Amino acid sequence: MSIFDADRWREVFDTLGANKLRTTLTAFGVLWGIFMLIIMLGAGSGLYNGVTSEFQGFATNSLYVWTQRTTMPYKGLPAGRWFSMNNEDTKAIRELVPEARVIAPRNEVGGWRGSANVTRGINTGAYGIKGDYPEVVEIQPFDIQEGRLMNEMDLDQKRKVAVIGAKVVNDLYEPGEEIIGSHIRINGVYFTVVGVIKTKKAGREAEDDAQSIFIPLSAFQQAFNYGNWVSYYGFMPIDGVSVAELQEKVLKVLKERHRVHPNDEFAFGTNNNEEEFAEYANVFTGINFLIWFVGTLTLVAGIIGISNIMLVIVKERTKEIGIRRAIGASPLSIVSQIILEALVLTSMAGYIGIVLGVWAVEYAGPMIEDESFKNPQIDFHTILIALGVLIISGCAAGFLPAYRALEIKPVEALRTEN
């Protein structure tokens, strides 16, 4: 009997429809299992997107270094000493640490350090002022919306030029007003605007960029009397070198230059984005495994329910199966019929569960988005895996009942009263 035989399919649906309530309740177990699996995978995706959005706009193989207080005495200097980095450190690192592909020192005022007074005509605002090297765009990439970014000539000649964020434009300029070539006054010092940036970051970091003004570090130090002081550094390694290796070499140079004990682990603060991103990736690998494990167990519970109900159906049809065996029905036709019934019940319930789950993730998910939960989604690959699991589960659910059906002896079955 062919699987495309209309009579065969009519028999499948007649059997499953003989007790609609029982069939519905049994199918609900599979529906709920696959629905919860899809929901949990979507939630995991939203959580992953929310966390990784914090790295958006940053190089994931970057390193940040800043100074703290020493915790160990060294070469006659006491513990608890404050110290600062400077332009000479930049030269030393460039010379002694060839593993550093990008070296980006920075100073800043405003933002979390306080408010810098910025004026243009009658318009004023408080924004973060950041003194940078042109290389900063390697670590924190920007899209240039208008004009240009800083360049080496700006840095070498201590040019008073500025690249501004979108909020600065909105606050200080009228719609349609010429921005490039205009002047703004920062703490009483005039700067020429040469560019407007569009950030690639997300969340709070994007807001910070939008209300920031970027100027050459050399002009920052001169205009605001910072001397040669550097607040903190951003680094990126050359290909083939890990951030951890780069961190070790950079700290070695800085400790020697500032007479910090080689074993003082707290004199410098660091942020290794490569390690941090890898830790998050490992956490989410574990979360995905847990989601699949729990979801699969939930689905298995539904499959067991289908298997049990198919056993009941086989028992109820003992006489019918015996008659079929007696008139020459092959074992394969009986086995395939039982497995087909289990597969149809599993697939129908699973398909509805997948549709409801995808709908909930795609349409209801965005309603609960926030900074830590973004863009929950289920990719097509996951749906294909879920369908594959359903097909295998349906066959598995019908295997034991089909095996029991084969054990039915025609003579004993004909004596059975239904």
Question: Along the chain (418 residues), what's the average pLDDT of each consecutive run of 10 residues?
Answer: 63 73 80 84 80 65 94 93 96 96 92 69 90 91 89 96 94 92 94 91 74 95 94 94 95 96 95 85 84 79 75 70 70 74 81 87 74 74 75 72 68 56
Q: pTM higher than 0.75 for the full model?
A: no
Does residue 282 lie within any of the structural domains? yes
- Chain centre to alpha carbon of residue 332: 49
Is-contact 238 97, C-beta < 8 A? no
- The torsion angles phi and psi of 385, rounded to 5 degrees, stand at -65, -45
- Domain end among 225, 252, 268: 225
In this predicted structure, what is the pLDDT of residue 112? 47
* 289, 398: one domain: yes
Amino acid identity, residue 263? N
Domain count, the chain: 2
* 50, 140: one domain: no
Does residue 105 lie within any of the structural domains? no
Does residue 254 lie within any of the structural domains? no
Does residue 199 lie within any of the structural domains? yes
Does residue 193 lie within any of the structural domains? yes
* 220, 310: one domain: no
Does residue 253 lie within any of the structural domains? no
* 48, 137: one domain: no
* 209, 291: one domain: no
Is-contact 311 363, C-beta < 8 A? no
Please give the residue range of the domain that contains residue 406.
Answer: 6-54+278-415
Q: Could you give the CA distance from residue 247 to residue 270 in angstroms, rounded to a whole number?
A: 8
Q: Could you give the CA distance from residue 313 to residue 325 in angstroms, rounded to a whole number?
A: 17
* 30, 142: one domain: no
* 411, 285: one domain: yes
CA distances from 111 to 107, 116, 204, 315, 407 (A): 12, 8, 12, 75, 79
* 128, 215: one domain: yes
* 320, 394: one domain: yes
In this predicted structure, what is the pLDDT of residue 286? 87
Q: Could you give the CA distance from residue 156 to residue 278 in angstroms, rounded to a whole number?
A: 37
In total, the chain counts a number of residues equal to 418
* 215, 306: one domain: no
Does residue 283 lie within any of the structural domains? yes
* 307, 387: one domain: yes
Does residue 80 lie within any of the structural domains? no
Helices and strands of the chain, counted as H and E runs: 14, 13
* 403, 305: one domain: yes
